[in-house]
Amino acid sequence: MRWTVFALVVAAGASLAAGCGKGAPDDGPKPREGGTPDESSEKGPVAKPTPPLDLKPPPAPAREFDGHDLSKVPAGSLRGLAQDAIEDKDFQRAVRFQHWAVANAGSGQYNLACYYSLAGNVDAAVYWLQRAGLEEGVDVGWAGQDSDLARVRQDGRWSTLVDFLRKCNRYWASSDHRDTTLVLPKGYTKEKPIPVLVGLHGMGSNATSFVGRAFQRHADALGVAFVGVSGTIPRGPHSFVWAQDSERNAARIAAALAEVADRLTVKQGAVVAFGFSQGAQAAAEVAVRYPEKYAGAIVLSPGGLEDPKPSAFQPSPAHREQGYVVACGARELPGNVFLTSEYARLTGGMGARVRHKTYPGVSAHTFPPDFDKVLPEWIRFILGPKQS
């Protein structure tokens, strides 16, 4: 890798980390679809599990790269460089960058385990999977099918590791850990009811990384609030997933809105759910089931929950007042493309206004390339007369 390329990526690190999801590396596990929430039936607190495999930390890779100290490079830049190395199948280099991303930011442990597995170092992969389960959160369902972990699953310790990861899932799911963010228009006072965009993140992510300061200019320009809501089921301190049950997801959103009620007054009937990936499905399902509360939804690259049940999409007069924007890359995984079309078809069949867009040539599972430009237009389309 030439130094000029490395320098460009490092210089972009701060803006990448602050982005709205347009391809920026996330702090959580890789945003793949296929894992499912562990709907634990256990009630009350669960004891924090102890890692069953006594492994020493793998030695730190060299921190000097092209004359620069990787321990001082922004973690977002390093995660991007690690992903570039994976694309080049340079797994040792990916390990190197991801190690220092974890060392600098304390997150990204699951990805580091995957890169070690791809590099053939199973002991190091198992060590970081155990760390990730307790400290970061690992979806055990996805870990059981993630192709990056194939070597780990072939190891004789896999069943012991899976049992431990399930215990970690139950431990975090039994906690009351939550994450809620709020972006208000500048100068806003609570006395004025305003429309609200409720942001629902993808699998394994969190509210803080999904709705942050990058939305401030949209809040100011449109006079709307953005509320980031963490998923219903905690997976770790910064990792959440959404439940299969829409009622539980709706209750989580209601709790988040109540949490910010001291600073925000929601305009009746002017709540828009917008989500990505697993959060996109949660957004669509909640908006469909509670049309009296939601003006509609922005559904981006849906996937990760159960397929929509057509029987739940029964038309009502309230649905005819709603608007839905449903979009994904035309070359994303077939499941994402199918669900995008299916939600467009089902919501349109209820009489709602629908915009359905697939982006030609786009294969990355991420926000649309023109997201910042079209978001205000989408919001106005959904709110319609409710905005005035």
On the question of pLDDT at 178 being above 70, the answer is yes
Task: Identify the domain containing residue 228 by its residue range.
Answer: 180-387
On the question of pLDDT at 38 being above 70, the answer is no
Mean pLDDT across 228-237: 92
Burial classification of residue 345, based on how many CB atoms lie within 10 Å of its CB (0-12 exposed, 13-18 middle, 19 or more buried) = middle
Last residue of a domain, one of 139, 173, 207: 173
Question: What is the Cα–Cα distance from 226 to 280, expressed in whole angstroms?
Answer: 16
Closest listed residue to residue 273, CA positions, set 310, 302, 238, 244:
302
On the question of pLDDT at 185 being above 60, the answer is yes
Give pLDDT tens digits for 326-374.
999 999 999 999 999 999 999 999 999 999 999 999 999 999 999 999 9
Burial classification of residue 97, based on how many CB atoms lie within 10 Å of its CB (0-12 exposed, 13-18 middle, 19 or more buried) = buried
Closest listed residue to residue 288, CA positions, set 317, 312, 305:
312
Q: Tell whether 107 and 209 lie within a shared domain.
A: no
Amino acid at 258: A
Q: Tell whether 378 and 356 lie within a shared domain.
A: yes
Alpha-carbon distance values, 354 to 211, 323, 344, 346, 348 (Å): 24, 6, 7, 10, 6
On the question of pLDDT at 34 being above 50, the answer is no
* pLDDT, position 317: 96
* pLDDT, position 226: 98
Q: Tell whether 208 and 255 lie within a shared domain.
A: yes
Q: Tell whether 115 and 213 lie within a shared domain.
A: no
Model-level pTM greater than 0.85? no
Last residue of a domain, one of 173, 197, 232: 173
**pLDDT band at 45; cut points 50, 70, 90:** low
Give pLDDT tens digits for 71-120.
999 998 999 999 999 999 999 999 999 999 999 988 899 999 999 999 99
Q: How many structural domains compose the chain?
A: 2
Q: Tell whether 197 and 154 lie within a shared domain.
A: no
* pLDDT, position 107: 84
Closest listed residue to residue 228, CA positions, set 14, 15, 21:
21
Last residue of a domain, one of 173, 189, 213: 173
Q: Which two tokens stand for residue 56?
A: 């020493």
Question: What is the Cα–Cα distance from 258 to 264, expressed in whole angstroms?
Answer: 9
Mean pLDDT across 137-164: 94
The CATH number for 92's domain is 1.25.40
* pLDDT, position 318: 95
